[in-house]
């Protein structure tokens, strides 16, 4: 699919309007998704596998 953002921005500038933001690339989306999943894994892992051993009650 062709990105029409540059053409639209040219038309907008002719009418003294602000340009459209450039849409994120698939690589950026993938990177953001990976970082989100890594952070979620760290949070869940901490609650499932605590690093401190429970105190003995005896």
Domain locations along the chain: 4-48
Report the sign of the C-alpha dihedral through residues 11, 16, 19, 20, in that order.
Answer: negative
- Residues of 22-32 as b/e, b for ≥16 C-beta within 10 angstroms? eeeeeeeeeee
Q: What number is the average pLDDT over the span 15-42?
A: 83
pLDDT classification of 12: cutoffs 50, 70, 90: very high
Query: Regarding predicted confidence, which is higher, 18 or 46?
Result: 18
Cβ proximity of 39 and 57 under 8 Å: no
Between the alpha carbon of residue 38 and those of residues 1, 48, 57, the distances in Å are 31, 15, 35
Q: What number is the average pLDDT over the span 16-36?
A: 81
């Amino acid at each position: 699919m062709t990105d029409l953002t540059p053409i639209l921005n040219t038309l907008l500038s002719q009418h003294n309007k602000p340009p459209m933001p450039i849409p994120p690339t698939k690589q950026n989306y993938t990177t953001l998704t990976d970082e989100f999943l890594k952070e979620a894994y760290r949070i869940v892992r901490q609650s499932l596998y605590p690093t401190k051993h429970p105190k003995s009650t005896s």
